[in-house]
Every structure is written in structure tokens, then in C-alpha cells.
Amino acid sequence: MITKQLNKSFTASHTLMLAVFVSAMLLGRPARSQADVVLSSRWFHPKDDRDTLSTIKIAKAFNVTRIDWMYCNNKTQLQQLQQLNIPYSLAINPQTPDSAGYTTAKTRILDINGNPLVAPWMKKWKVKNPYWGCVNNPLFKETFYTQTKNIVDLGAYGVFVDDARFNDHAAEWGGCYCDYCMTAFNKYLESKNESLSGASNYREFLKTSGANAGSPLVAQLKKEFRQFQSQSVVNFLTTWKADLSAYAKRPFKFLTNNYNGNWDSPIYKVFDGGIAEIPSNKELTTGKIGGIVKKATAFGKTQVFSYASDNMTANAKFIIQAYLAGSAAIIPWDALVSSNVENNYSQRYYANTDQYLKLFDFISGHPGLFKNTISTKEAAALNLASSSEYITELRRDKTGTYLFICAPDSIRQAGDISSPVTFKNISGAPLSMFDDITPCRIMKSDNGNWNVNTAFAILKIKPR
Ligand SMILES: [Zn+2]
């Protein structure tokens, strides 16, 4: 967090540099670089003749280094990615259909009355197969193994388990009470020398315990049941990971979506890496994102981010912050917009590519910039005071020293994030390197379109 006061020792020649904006630094397409540029085309586009979207077109335009979290089992489509040398992980979720093509009840998580459960947020989704598989059900295990072996066979570098909590999550909405879970829970209790007061299983116990619903025994068993279901998922995934790794006979990655960057769950810890879904109403600073990355790294996990917003400037800001934190944010194309998920399953955000292209070109072309921070001593030499009001970072690579400025709110109403801008002080006078740019709310464009607190900029402030 560094910003604001520019050193009076800067020479007049730097004044020009201040006005140099991202666009000026983006001439030409960078070659494939080391910076991760991740596309999460959730499905391969075009899906059919009417689909005007193209996964390949986007992958090429953004020069992506890999594709994660994609549902696809079409060899011809995947071959197109192989030809472009783009690694991909393929997704599976708890609703993966069984061999008959449906999420039939016999392999699924059941409620206490034996009916298959639907996740609360999926109730309005228009999907024909909404039911989650039960990890204690050997028939579902068979389905899951078959499907994920197929993912290995399709040449994926890894598998992405979408909603990896399975029974652990379903326990929050009333599952799973299938016969397999009941038998396994009996064994779990036996191992702890506990019993169900004469009931043959937990389902029967709950149904007959009516009047005692608030009793300490019921409360204790409910807690144990949650622990049992959580442990069931960990056991299932751990065994599966070992089995699938053996099947792959090559390095193979196991990825999942860890909502909000959560690594506390033992279920997530089974995986090698995560895509953290961040809701759009969550204002994350570079420091907070960095904290998540640091935690993931400490656990030996990789971590990238997915920001659920269709707001262009909010996305741009988030993306830059994620990269500054040493991570990556997926290109906001084919991204689920969480605020609309309850009402419309198909509400996804496909960014206007031109708007983001310059930003990702910059990222792609400056991998070193995002890997190294400037030391406190070096920053002090530039005499930039620190501030928590704005997200500002100073970074340097072989092409120069850059100042990143992102105001807390969105920058502009719409439009090109990299259009030239002149930084002016609060009274409208153009800034020179000798001026105090505290606070950064000084930013206004020549044509007045930039408002107070609406700024985002990557400024090259010094040639290397
Ligand atoms: Zn079950």
C-alpha cells in the first residue's frame, strides 16, 4: 500500500510519463508469457449452430495459458485446445448423471422420507438432473469413478470438482438418510461405543424421537451425524484421489471451487488447488486477497479467483488486485453472476472482450511485475507516502516502474479502462511529478468524464 506524494526530486521529464496510460504500453501482442491467464469457459462454445460465442476465439484472443472448470466430453472440441497447446481441467459435480443419463434416486442423496434432495439454490434452476450423488452409495461411487476416469482419458491435466462438499453440504438441508448412510452411521457410532436408544438406524431414531427433539441426546447425535457426513466426504475423495492418480499414470491435478477462498474445511484440503468464488458485494483489498493466497500456499495449494460481477470496472479492479496479490483472476467470460443465480440459471457474464483485452495483455506481457514487490527501502526512496484509502501498489519490472491506482468504487460508468487520462489535482490543474497527488480523488479526465473517486490506473512512473 503505497501512494500519494511524489518526490520533488523527480525530474521534469517524468511529467510526461505520468500521463502515459496503459494503452500506450500495450502496443503489439505479447508472446506466451509466464503470467497465468486463465479462462473458465464453463461449457465449450459454440454449443450449437445458434451460439455466437466461441471458446477458441476467446482463448486465442487472450492468449490464455490454461482453461479451468470446463464441462466438456467432446473429443473433437478438446482436440482444438490440444492443437493450440492449451492445458485444460475438466469439471464434474455432484449432479453428474449415472449410466442411464439421469440423477436417479437410487444413487442420490435422500431426505428423511426417502426423496432425492435438491440444493436450495438450485430449486429454481431449469436443470433436468438436479439431484446430488451420495458418497456413501457404491452405485454413485461407480458413476463418479467412471466419469472421472473419462476426464483422464480426455487428456485433461486435472479434474475440477464443482461443489466438492457433497453429503457434508447436504447435511445442512436435510440429507443424506439413504440406507447406505444409515448403515455407515451405525458403524460410526459403534466405533465410538454409542447407540441410538434401540432404534435400528438414525432415520428411524429421528422419526420416533419426536417429543424428544430438543433433548441433549438428539442434539449430540445431530452433531455426530454432521461430523460423520463430513468425514464420509473426506474419505470418499481421499480414496478417489489416490485411485484416480494411479489410473492416470501421469501427474494429475485435483481442483475445486473453494468459496470465498476457504481452506479450513478438511474436504477442500484433499485438493491441490482452488478457484475462490468471490461474491460481487465483497470488497476485497489486495492485502485480503494476498492473505488468502498466503494461506493456500501454506497448505501447499494453488489459488486463483473468480469474481461474480458483471460490472466491468469492479472486475478490472478485482483482476488487478488478484494479480498484485501474486495470484490470478479468471477472465470474466462465461462467468456465473451470483446475484442473478436464484432467478435465472443461464445468467452468465460474457465480458466485452475489447475492454478486458488491454488489461490482460498488460498482465500477460509483464509477468515479472506481479511476482516482485518493490522493497520498502526502494519505495521510500521514491518518497511515496502510504495510504489505505486507495489500492495502490508500486511495482517494477525490466520495462519500468509502475504505479497501480484503483479507487474503492468503480472508475467510470462504462468504457475503456485504458483510455488516456490526465491526472489533475482537486482544483483541475494538471499534475506534474512535482505535485502532491494526495489524495487520489484528484483524478479527472480532460473531458471531465472521470469523477471524484472513480479512478483506475496503471501508471508508468519511471523507466527502468
Ligand atoms: Zn446417503
Q: In this structure, what C-alpha cell is assigned to residue 442?
A: 484528484
CA of 138 to the centre of ligand 1 (A): 10
Walking along the chain (464 residues) 10 residues at a time, the average pLDDT comes out as 30 29 31 74 94 96 96 97 97 90 88 90 74 96 97 98 96 95 97 88 88 81 96 98 98 96 96 93 80 95 92 80 92 76 63 81 85 67 42 76 58 34 44 33 36 50 61
Q: In this structure, what C-alpha cell is assigned to residue 65?
A: 495459458
Taken in order 434, 435, 441, 445, the sign of the CA dihedral is negative
CA of 225 to the centre of ligand 1 (A): 12
H/E element holding 237? helix 216-248
CA of 185 to the centre of ligand 1 (A): 10
| Beta bridge partners of residue 110, listed in sequence order | 116
CA–CA separation, 369 vs 26, rounded Å?
15
CA of 152 to the centre of ligand 1 (A): 27
CA of 133 to the centre of ligand 1 (A): 8
CA–CA separation, 450 vs 354, rounded Å?
20
CA of 149 to the centre of ligand 1 (A): 23
CA of 391 to the centre of ligand 1 (A): 47
**259: three-class secondary structure by DSSP:** helix
CA of 373 to the centre of ligand 1 (A): 49
CB of 95 within 8 A of CB of 161? no
CA of 141 to the centre of ligand 1 (A): 11
Among 317, 343, 346, 345, which residue's Cα sits nearest to residue 332?
Answer: 317
CA of 220 to the centre of ligand 1 (A): 20
What is the residue extent of each domain of the chain? Answer: 13-26+370-462, 38-368
CB of 392 within 8 A of CB of 291? no
**208: three-class secondary structure by DSSP:** helix
What pLDDT, on a 0 to 100 scale, did the predictor assign at position 434?
25
CA of 80 to the centre of ligand 1 (A): 39
Among 239, 250, 246, which residue's Cα sits nearest to residue 155?
Answer: 250
CA of 277 to the centre of ligand 1 (A): 27
CA angle, 105 as apex, 100 and 107 as ends, to 5°?
70
What pLDDT, on a 0 to 100 scale, did the predictor assign at position 462?
63
CA of 270 to the centre of ligand 1 (A): 21
CB of 458 within 8 A of CB of 320? yes
CA of 170 to the centre of ligand 1 (A): 10
Residue with cell 480532460: 446
pTM recorded for the entire structure: 0.81
Reply yes or no on domain 38-368 having CATH 3.90.220: no
CA of 262 to the centre of ligand 1 (A): 25
CA–CA separation, 355 vs 361, rounded Å?
11
CA of 177 to the centre of ligand 1 (A): 6
CA of 197 to the centre of ligand 1 (A): 22
Residue with cell 475440477: 160
Q: Report, in angstroms and rounded to the nearest whole number, the Rg of the chain calculated over CA atoms.
A: 26
